[in-house]
C-alpha cells in the first residue's frame, strides 16, 4: 500500500525539498548511496574487488531539465571512467546509466541522449568494460531499446534492463535473448498503470521466472537483478538445466541490500555484481529503495524523530 504513495512522492519537488532537508536523512541515504564523489566510490570498488565482487556504477541523477545538465551527466561518467582507467579497475567495474539523465525527455531528447551516451560507451570500451542502459518508466522504453540497438552496432557488449512487471517484457526478452546480448532482468521499480503492468507481486514474480527461462534458454548473457531468495534458487536451477556454466550468467544486487548474500553467492563461485550508486542527486533512487520495502520507511521516519 505504501509503495505507490512513496513512488508518487519520488516525482514531487516539494517532497524532494522536505526529504533532503530532514534531519536523519543522510544516515539512511548512506545505506544505499556509496558517497557523493568519484573519490568516495573508488575505495568501494576496491573493497568489492578485494572481496571477489564486481560492480556496476551509477552516477545518480534522472529527469534533468536542461541540455547543460545532460552534458554534465556525460562528463561525470567520463571523469569516473578516467579514474577507473588510471587505477586499472576497468575490468571490475561497468557503468549503469539512466537515459533521462542524458536528456532523453528534453526536446529532441532521443537524439540528444544517444549523442551524450555514445562517448561514455566508447570510453568504457576503451578500458575494457561495458555500459548497461537502465530501464525507467514504460514511456521511455521504446527510445531506450532503439538507443540500445544503435549502440550495439559498434559496441555489442552494451547491456539493457528489462522489467518483469511490464506485459511487454516477455516479447522484449525473446527479441533480446540473442547471441552476444547482455540483459539484466529486474522486477521493476516505477509506478506503472494497470494498462501496461502487473500490479500484484505474485504475478510479477511468476512473470520474472517465465522471462528468466527465456533468457537462460537463449544465447545471450543473463544478468539476474534481484535479492529475492526464491528467485535466486530458481535461477540457479534454470541455469543448470540450460547447461550454463558459472561464467555464462551473473547475479546482480544493489549496494546496501542483502550484502551477506553478495558474499555467499560469490563464495559459491557465482559472478556477483553490486549495483553501486553514488553522487549528490540521490532523491529519486533513494525513494525507490524506500518504496521497495516499507520497513525502510519506518527506519527513515524513526531516524528523523530520534535526530
Ligand atoms: P523483492 O522486492 O521481492 O525483494 C526481495 C527481498 O529483497 C525482500 O524481501 C528484502 O529482503 C530485499 N529487498 C528488496 N528491496 C529492498 C530494499 N529496497 N531495501 C531492503 N531490502 C530489500 N528497476 C528498474 O525499474 N529499472 C532498473 O534499471 C533497475 N536496475 C536494477 C539493478 C539491480 C542490480 C537490481 C538488483 C535492481 C534493479 N532495479 C531496477 C530494481 C528492481 O526493479 C526492484 O525494484 C528491486 O530489485 C526489488 O526487487 P527484488 O527483485 O529484490 O524483489
Query: What CATH number is attached to the domain comprising 172?
Result: 3.20.20.220
Q: What is the DSSP string of 32-89?
A: HB--SSHHHHHHHHHHHHHTT-EEEEEE------SHHHHHHHHHHHHHHHHHHHHTT-
| Residue at 140 is within a domain | yes
How close is the Cα of 2 to the center of ligand 1, in Å?
Answer: 16
CB distance 239 to ligand 1 below 6 Å = no
Query: Which of 100, 185, 230, 254 should be mutated for ligand 1, with most atoms under 8 A from CB?
Result: 254
Quote the domain boundaries for residue 56: 34-281
- In a domain? residue 123: yes
- The per-residue pLDDT string of the chain (307 residues; one tens digit each, 9 = 90 and over) reads 678 888 988 888 888 888 888 888 888 899 999 999 999 999 999 999 999 999 999 999 988 999 999 999 999 999 999 999 999 998 899 999 999 999 999 999 999 999 999 999 999 999 999 999 999 999 999 999 999 999 999 999 999 999 999 999 999 999 999 989 999 999 999 999 999 999 999 999 999 999 999 999 999 999 999 999 999 999 999 999 999 999 999 999 999 999 999 999 999 999 999 999 999 999 999 999 999 987 888 888 877 777 5
- Per the annotation, binding residues are 98, 163, 187-189, 201, 226-227, 288-289
Q: What is the DSSP pairing of strand 182-186 with strand 93-97?
A: unpaired
Please tell me the predicted confidence (pLDDT) of residue 119.
98
Note whether residue 164 is domain-resident: yes
Annotated binding site for FAD: 163, 187-189, 201, 226-227
Q: Is the CB of 261 under 6 A from ligand 1?
A: no
Q: Which of 52, 71, 51 is nearest to 61 (CA)?
A: 71
Angle of helix 283-292 relative to helix 13-21, nearest 10 degrees? 90
Q: How many CB atoms lie within 10 A of CB 294?
A: 13
Q: Is residue 77 part of a domain?
A: yes
The response to whether residue 101 sits with its C-beta less than 6 Å from ligand 1 reads no
**Is 28 domain-assigned?**
no
Q: Is residue 94 a part of any domain in this protein?
A: yes
- Strand 250-254 and strand 54-59: pairing? unpaired
Q: Tell how far the Cα of 199 is from the centroid of ligand 1, in angstroms.
A: 15
Residue 296 in any domain: the answer is no
What is the CA(288)–ligand 1 centre distance, in A? 9
Report d(CA 20, CA 47) in Å as an integer.
Answer: 28
Number of folded domains that form the chain:
1
- Going from the Cα of 292 to the center of ligand 1, the distance in angstroms, rounded, reads 7
Specify the DSSP element, H or E, that contains 282: none
Assess if residue 5 is contained within a domain.
Answer: no
The reported pLDDT for the residue numbered 89 is 93
First CA to last CA distance, the chain: 27
Tell me the chain's radius of gyration from C-alpha atoms: 18
C-alpha cell at 205: 514474480
Ligand 1 atom 37, closest CA = 225
Catalytic residues: 134, 184
Partners of 116 in beta bridges: none
pLDDT of residue 302: 79
Specify the pTM.
Answer: 0.97
pLDDT of 230 reads 98
Closest CA to 183 of 192, 175, 191: 175
State if residue 251 touches ligand 1 by the CB under 6 angstroms criterion: no
Amino acid at each position: 500500500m505504501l509503495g505507490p504513495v512513496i513512488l508518487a512522492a519520488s516525482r514531487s519537488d516539494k517532497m524532494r525539498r522536505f526529504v533532503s532537508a530532514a534531519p536523519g536523512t543522510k544516515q539512511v541515504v548512506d545505506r544505499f548511496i556509496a558517497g557523493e564523489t568519484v573519490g568516495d566510490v573508488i575505495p568501494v570498488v576496491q573493497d568489492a574487488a578485494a572481496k571477489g565482487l564486481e560492480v556496476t556504477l551509477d552516477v545518480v541523477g534522472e529527469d534533468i531539465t536542461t541540455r547543460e545538465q545532460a552534458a554534465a551527466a556525460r562528463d561525470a561518467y567520463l571523469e569516473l571512467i578516467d579514474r577507473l582507467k588510471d587505477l586499472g579497475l576497468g575490468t571490475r567495474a561497468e557503468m549503469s546509466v539512466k537515459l533521462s539523465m542524458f536528456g532523453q525527455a528534453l526536446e529532441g531528447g532521443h537524439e540528444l541522449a544517444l549523442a551524450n551516451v555514445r562517448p561514455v560507451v566508447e570510453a568504457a570500451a576503451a578500458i575494457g568494460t561495458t555500459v548497461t542502459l537502465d530501464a525507467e518508466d514504460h514511456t521511455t522504453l521504446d527510445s531506450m531499446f532503439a538507443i540500445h540497438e544503435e549502440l550495439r552496432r559498434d559496441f555489442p557488449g552494451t547491456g539493457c534492463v528489462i522489467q518483469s512487471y511490464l506485459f511487454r517484457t516477455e516479447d522484449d526478452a525473446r527479441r533480446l535473448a540473442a547471441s552476444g546480448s547482455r540483459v539484466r532482468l529486474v522486477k521493476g521499480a516505477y509506478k506503472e498503470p494497470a494498462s501496461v503492468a502487473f500490479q500484484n507481486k505474485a504475478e510479477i514474480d511468476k512473470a520474472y521466472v517465465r522471462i528468466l527461462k527465456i533468457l537462460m534458454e537463449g544465447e545471450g548473457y543473463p544478468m539476474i537483478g534481484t535479492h529475492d531468495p526464491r528467485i535466486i534458487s530458481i535461477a540457479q536451477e534454470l541455469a543448470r538445466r540450460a547447461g550454463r556454466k558459472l561464467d555464462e550468467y551473473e547475479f546482480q544486487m544493489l549496494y546496501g541490500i542483502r550484502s551477506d548474500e553478495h558474499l555467499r553467492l560469490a563464495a559459491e563461485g557465482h559472478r556477483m555484481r553490486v549495483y553501486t550508486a553514488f553522487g549528490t542527486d540521490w532523491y529519486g533512487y533513494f525513494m525507490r529503495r524506500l518504496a521497495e520495502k516499507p520497513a525502510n520507511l519506518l527506519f527513515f521516519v524513526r531516524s528523523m524523530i530520534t535526530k
